[in-house]
Amino acid sequence: EGGVKLIKSGALVTCTHLPYAPFQSKDAAGKVVGFDVALIDLVAKKLSVTQEIVDTPFEGIKSGADLNSGKCDVAAAGMTITDERKQVLDFSDPYFDATQALNTLPGKEVKTLEELKGKRIGVQGGTTGDDYIKAQVKEKSLDLEVVAYKDLAALQQALATNQVAAAVGDLPVWNDYIKANPGKAVVTAGFDTGEQYGFAVKKGNAELLKAVNDAISASRTDGTYDKIYAEWIGE
């Protein structure tokens, strides 16, 4: 594949932050699988290498630190394309649309941030959900304590054990959680943030970026994208 340089021979090394089902999570056998994994596998195949996945905190992924230091070739982490992140990463074409969801325990449904007055709301630290809620608190002078958790599992655990009255995060991820754990949470409201996920490479790595974009666009044309979508997201 024309001029693509990889950090390790025979592998396309992907940074992600687990767990983030249905985009990336471990299956019963401990293998990392998901929507993003399947799409990046197409890129690896095109490059005649195999994908190798590194689980690492989201902060290092979105800041560009992991790509810059050569920890990985590509970042695939259900990551939203933002102007701020574009300064430090080169994003692929968008491959998935997302919004933010407000979630509570069943029976404790609250539909607005205003109703959570004086309560704690959980987010995954450093994510767009975190940014969105903090901006809302500021803009509307809400009396709300925003608690940031280190990963999605910790956030979901906090909601399940009543450490927070509500949790905010990417809708497709919360839909998947509720499908897998019926009764553990309900989506009570959506915030239409109009987000789009992108894969990222180190700034300036145009060759690899092209391989990623070519794989995405080929998958959309040949039906593979739809198959992967049906497998991981559903109807």
Contacts to ligand ARG by CB under 6 A:
16-17, 20, 58, 77-80, 127-128, 152, 170
Cβ at position 152, least distance to ligand ARG in Å: 6
Query: What residues contact 14, with CB distance under 8 A and at least 6 apart?
Result: 37, 40, 51, 52, 53, 54, 72, 73, 74, 75, 76
For residue 174, the minimal CB distance to ligand ARG (Å) is: 11
Of 86 and 117, the one with the shorter C-beta distance to ligand ARG is 86
Q: What is the dihedral of CA 123, 124, 126, 128, to 10 degrees?
A: -70
CB 121, min distance to ligand ARG, A: 16
Nearer to ligand ARG, 20 or 95 (CB): 20
Q: How near is the Cβ of 116 to ligand ARG at its closest, in Å?
A: 21
User: Which is closer to ligand ARG, CB of 128 or CB of 156?
Assistant: 128
Contact 92, 199 (CB under 8 A): yes
Identify the CA nearest to 226 among candidates 27, 46, 16, 38: 38
Compare residues 85 and 202 and give the one whose CB is closer to ligand ARG.
85
Round to whole Å and give the CA distance between 125 and 113: 18
